[in-house]
Amino acid sequence: MIRPTSAGAGFLFAGVLLAVSATAALAQGTGSATLDAVAKRGQLVCGVAGSTAGFSLPDSQGVMRGIDADSCRAVAAAALGDAGKIRFVPTTTTNRFTALQSGEVDMLYRSTTWTLGREGNLGGLFASINFYDGTGFLVKKATNVKSVKEMDGATICVQPGTSTELAIADYFRVNNLKFTPILIQDLAEIQNAYLSGRCDAYSTDASALAAFRFQQGDKATDHVLLPEIISKEPLGAMVRKGDDKWFDLVRWTYFATLIAEEYGITSKNVDTFMSSNIPEIRRLLGLEGDMGKALGVDNKWAYNVIKQVGNAGEIWDRNITPMGIPRGINNLWNKGGLQYAPPMR
């Protein structure tokens, strides 16, 4: 008799897990330590910035709003069937990775750039990109500066521990320019430093700069976003390494919002698609295919995401469109953008 190897035994065990119902999987263990912890707690703990309009910022009622906040809610809907079973933990640019590594949060959706150094050195994996961005510069209109290349010798306000800090250093070095960084951790303090004239320019992700300028109201036109975008900043969800099943769920939750948008399935009309004969829609909505079982959750996981949070376009329009930021490269692949989901089959 040939005895199964430990690897073979592992595959057999995985097969058994996938054969049980989603409810039983949650009770007996899903194959994901993080998902099991979330299910036992009955709540997803998501690390966000909590200070950036359009991404994560409490409204006047104290409700966290933004594309990152809604992306967190989508994972809660997928994992627990309820987008409201969530707790947001504000993190800074310097403590966000520690919060993830230590288990203080289950995941990060904090306008965090996917880089080799972060994925290779910090014990995390990037599961999705919900915003393709880039480093930009905001200056006062009164300076009459039209280009970053006119900023030799400038002082630039930037948060420490960010990819922006490195992008500026690289760009100025390549272009034989000099600058003095004004490093300030607190977001409100760094913005006030720029407004008060402590630095010549404020640099961070272009989307955040656009949001900050938008928040200036009648004085928004006093500030100019320079035309150069000097880096690639793909922003998205980060999870801990070593929990592949949780990685899969977070990644495919985002893909589900893209697939829904491709088919025109929204939070308002999703129920009308329950009689669809299109195979991918039926798999998406849990009508066939056991896609949820493969992820350790209920087969209606994506239905819950769409019904409670919406598709990717709805999330964008709710949070980013009001700030006047065009969708551009963040559009679907079939509309000229970079957002592309693999097939759900």
In tens, the pLDDT along 75-118 reads 999 999 999 999 999 999 889 999 999 999 999 999 899 999 99
pLDDT band at 17 (very low <50, low <70, confident <90, very high): very low
Tell me, what's the pLDDT at 76? 98
pLDDT, average across residues 37-63: 95
Q: 301 vs 22, which has greater pLDDT?
A: 301
pLDDT, average across residues 125-147: 96
Tell me, what's the pLDDT at 14? 36
pLDDT band at 323 (very low <50, low <70, confident <90, very high): confident
pLDDT, average across residues 152-166: 92
Lowest mean pLDDT among 3-7, 130-134, 205-209, 268-272: 3-7
Is 319 a residue whose pLDDT tops 80? yes
Is 20 a residue whose pLDDT tops 60? no
pLDDT, average across residues 162-185: 94
pLDDT, average across residues 296-315: 98
Tell me, what's the pLDDT at 9? 39
Nearest alpha-carbon partner for 137 in 193, 206, 52: 206
Tell me, what's the pLDDT at 25? 39
pLDDT band at 15 (very low <50, low <70, confident <90, very high): very low
Q: 27 vs 37, which has greater pLDDT?
A: 37
Is 27 a residue whose pLDDT tops 90? no
DSSP string, 257-286: HHHHHHHT--TTTGGGGTT---HHHHHHTT
- Which residues are within 8 A (CB) of 276 and not within 5 positions of it... i.e. 6 or more apart? 282, 285, 287
Q: What is the mean pLDDT of the chain?
A: 90
pLDDT, average across residues 292-298: 96
State the first-to-last Cα distance of the chain, in angstroms, to the nearest integer.
36
Q: Could you tell me what percent of the chain has a pLDDT over 90?
A: 83
For residue range 180-222, list pLDDT tens digits in order. Answer: 999 999 989 999 999 999 999 999 999 889 889 988 989 999 9
pLDDT, average across residues 8-32: 45
pLDDT band at 5 (very low <50, low <70, confident <90, very high): very low
pLDDT band at 28 (very low <50, low <70, confident <90, very high): low
Nearest alpha-carbon partner for 202 in 236, 168, 153: 168
How far is Cα 46 from Cα 109, in angstroms, rounded to an integer? 7
Is 161 a residue whose pLDDT tops 90? no
Q: Where are the beta strands (DSSP E) in the chain?
A: 44-48, 57-58, 64-65, 86-90, 107-113, 124-133, 135-140, 154-158, 179-183, 201-205, 223-225, 233-240
For 318-324, the CB contacts below 8 A with 24+ separation are: 318/70, 319/54, 319/55, 319/65, 319/66, 319/67, 319/70, 320/54, 320/67, 320/207, 322/54, 323/53, 323/54, 323/210, 323/211, 323/214, 324/210, 324/214
Nearest alpha-carbon partner for 151 in 219, 99, 224: 224
